[in-house]
C-alpha cells in the first residue's frame, strides 16, 4: 500500500516514536488519527503538522480503557472518512525486579500487582483491544488494511521487566495469531521490535544502566525514532509482509 492512501490510527502519538510516526505519515500524504493520554502533546503534534500534504486529527485516548478504545476507533473512522491502518505504539514502563533484597535493610520486596497491572493494561490488553476494534471496523466496511504492533527485543527476556517482557512477547506471538485470523478480511499484521531508542521513556533511565546498554550495542549508538520508522514504513508498504516481527536493535542482544 502507498503511504498516501492510508487513513491510519497511531496510538501513543503525543511524543517519542509515536509522534515521529504520525508526522512521517502526514509528510507522505496520509490521514492520521493520533491518540494519547497527553492532550498537550497531541496539540503540539497537530500544530507541527500544519502545511504537510496529509493531515493529523487528534483526540485523547487511554488504550487501557475499553470504552475509550471503541469510541476512538468510531471517531477516527468518521474523521478520516475511512480506516485502513493501525500503528499500535502506546506503551509504558513500570520496571522492577520480581523479588529483590534491600541492600541496606536486607528486607525482601517484590514487584507490586499495581506495577504488573499497569503495564499489562496498556501494553497488552489495550493493544489487543485496539487491534480487535480496528479490525472489526475494517471487516465491517470491507476495507483491506494493515496493523503494525510495536513489540520489543526485551520480549526475549530482560532483568527487571517481567511485566514489559510478558506484554511485548505476547504482542509478537499474537502478530502471528492475528495474521491467521484476519487474513480472511484482507488485513495484514506485522510487528516491529525496537532495541534501545532515544525517546522520553529511555531518557528517564538510570544513566549508569543506560551507558552499560549502549556499550553493548554493536552499532555503537542508541537508536533513533527514524530507525524504527523505516521498519514501520516497510511493513505498511510491503503487501507481501505478514505475521512476522522485525528486530531493529543495532545488534543488541539482551
Per the annotation, the verdict on 240 as an active-site residue is no
pLDDT higher than threshold 70 for residue 254: no
> Once rounded to an integer, what is the mean pLDDT over residues 162-183?
98
Residue with cell 500534504: 53
pTM: predicted TM-score of the whole model, two decimal places: 0.94
pLDDT at 199 (0 to 100) = 84
pLDDT higher than threshold 80 for residue 206: no
Rounded Cα distance, 214 and 103, in Å: 26
> Once rounded to an integer, what is the mean pLDDT over residues 25-39?
98
pLDDT tens per residue, range 127-171: 999 999 999 999 999 999 999 999 999 999 999 999 999 999 999
For the chain, which domains are there? 3-245 (3.40.50.720)
Mean pLDDT of the chain: 96
Provide φ and ψ at 39, rounded to 5°: -70, -35
Catalytic residue among 6, 72, 164, 229: 164
pLDDT tens per residue, range 89-133: 999 999 999 999 999 999 999 999 999 999 999 999 999 999 999
**Pair 204, 137: CB distance under 8 Å:** no
pLDDT higher than threshold 90 for residue 203: no
Provide φ and ψ at 190, rounded to 5°: -130, 170
**Pair 92, 123: CB distance under 8 Å:** yes
Amino acid at each position: 500500500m502507498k503511504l498516501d492512501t492510508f487513513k491510519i490510527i497511531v496510538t501513543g502519538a503525543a511524543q517519542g516514536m509515536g509522534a515521529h510516526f504520525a508526522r512521517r505519515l502526514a509528510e507522505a500524504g496520509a490521514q492520521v488519527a493520533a491518540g494519547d493520554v497527553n492532550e498537550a502533546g497531541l496539540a503540539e503534534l497537530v500544530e507541527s503538522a500544519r502545511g504537510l500534504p496529509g493531515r493529523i486529527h487528534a483526540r485523547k485516548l487511554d488504550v487501557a480503557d475499553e470504552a475509550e478504545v471503541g469510541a476512538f476507533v468510531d471517531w477516527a473512522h468518521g474523521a478520516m472518512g475511512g480506516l485502513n491502518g493501525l500503528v499500535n505504539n502506546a506503551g509504558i514502563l513500570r520496571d522492577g525486579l520480581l523479588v529483590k533484597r534491600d541492600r541496606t535493610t536486607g528486607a525482601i520486596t517484590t514487584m507490586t500487582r499495581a506495577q504488573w497491572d499497569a503495564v499489562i493494561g496498556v501494553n497488552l490488553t489495550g493493544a489487543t483491544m485496539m487491534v480487535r476494534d480496528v479490525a472489526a471496523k475494517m471487516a465491517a466496511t470491507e476495507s483491506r488494511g494493515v496493523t503494525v504492533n510495536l513489540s520489543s527485543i526485551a520480549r526475549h527476556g530482560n532483568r527487571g521487566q517481567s511485566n514489559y517482557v510478558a506484554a511485548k512477547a505476547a504482542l509478537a506471538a499474537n502478530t502471528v495469531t492475528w495474521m491467521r485470523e484476519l487474513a480472511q478480511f484482507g488485513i495484514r499484521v506485522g510487528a516491529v521490535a525496537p532495541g534501545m531508542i532515544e525517546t522520553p521513556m529511555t531518557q528517564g533511565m538510570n544513566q549508569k544502566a543506560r551507558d552499560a546498554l549502549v556499550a553493548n550495542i554493536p552499532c555503537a549508538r542508541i537508536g533513533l525514532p527514524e530507525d524504527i520508522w523505516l521498519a514501520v514504513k516497510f511493513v505498511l508498504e510491503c503487501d507481501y509482509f505478514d505475521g512476522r516481527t522485525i528486530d531493529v536493535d543495532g545488534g543488541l542482544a539482551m
